Amino acid sequence: MTTPEGIAGLATRLRRAQRVTVLTGAGVSAASGVPTFRGPGGLWKDFRPEELATAAAFSRDPRLVWEWYEWRRQRVAQCAPNRAHEVLAAWSRRYPRFTLVTQNVDGLHERAGTRNVIRFHGSIWELGCWQGCGGSPARWTDDTVPFPELPPPCPGCGGWARPGVVWFGEPIDPSVLAEADRALDCDVCLVAGTSSVVYPAAGLAGEARRRGAYVAVVNPDASAGAEDADLVLAGNAEDVLDEVEAALAGA
Which residues sit at the interface with ligand APR, rule CB under 6 A? 25-27, 30-31, 36-39, 42, 103, 121, 192-195, 198, 218-221, 224, 236-238
Work out how close the CB of 149 gets to ligand APR at its nearest, in angstroms, rounded to a whole number.
26
Report the nearest approach of ligand APR to the CB of residue 19 (Å). Answer: 23
Q: From the CB of 10, what's the least distance to ligand APR, in Å?
A: 15
CA distance readout (Å), 5 to 22, 28, 212, 233, 244:
21, 23, 22, 10, 11
Whether residue 109 lies in the annotated active site: no
How far apart CA 233 and CA 154 sit, in angstroms, is 45
Nearest residue to 22 via CA among 245, 218, 180, 190: 190
6: Cβ contacts below 8 Å, ≥ 6 apart: 231, 232, 233
Q: With respect to ligand APR, which residue has the nearer C-beta, 151 or 163? A: 163
Residue 86 or 185: the one with the smaller Cβ distance to ligand APR is 86
* Contacting residues for 107 by C-beta, under 8 A, at least 6 apart: 76, 123, 124, 125
- State in angstroms the smallest separation of the CB of 119 from ligand APR: 10
Q: What is the rounded CA–CA span in Å between residue 23 and residue 202?
A: 9
The one catalytic residue in 72, 73, 119, 121 is: 121
- Which residue has its beta carbon closest to ligand APR? 27
Considering Cα of 86, then 91, then 92, then 98, what sign does the dihedral take? negative
If the CB atoms of residues 154 and 229 are measured against ligand APR, the closer one turns out to be: 229
Name the residue nearer to ligand APR (CB basis): 16 or 48: 48
Q: Residues with catalytic annotation?
A: 121
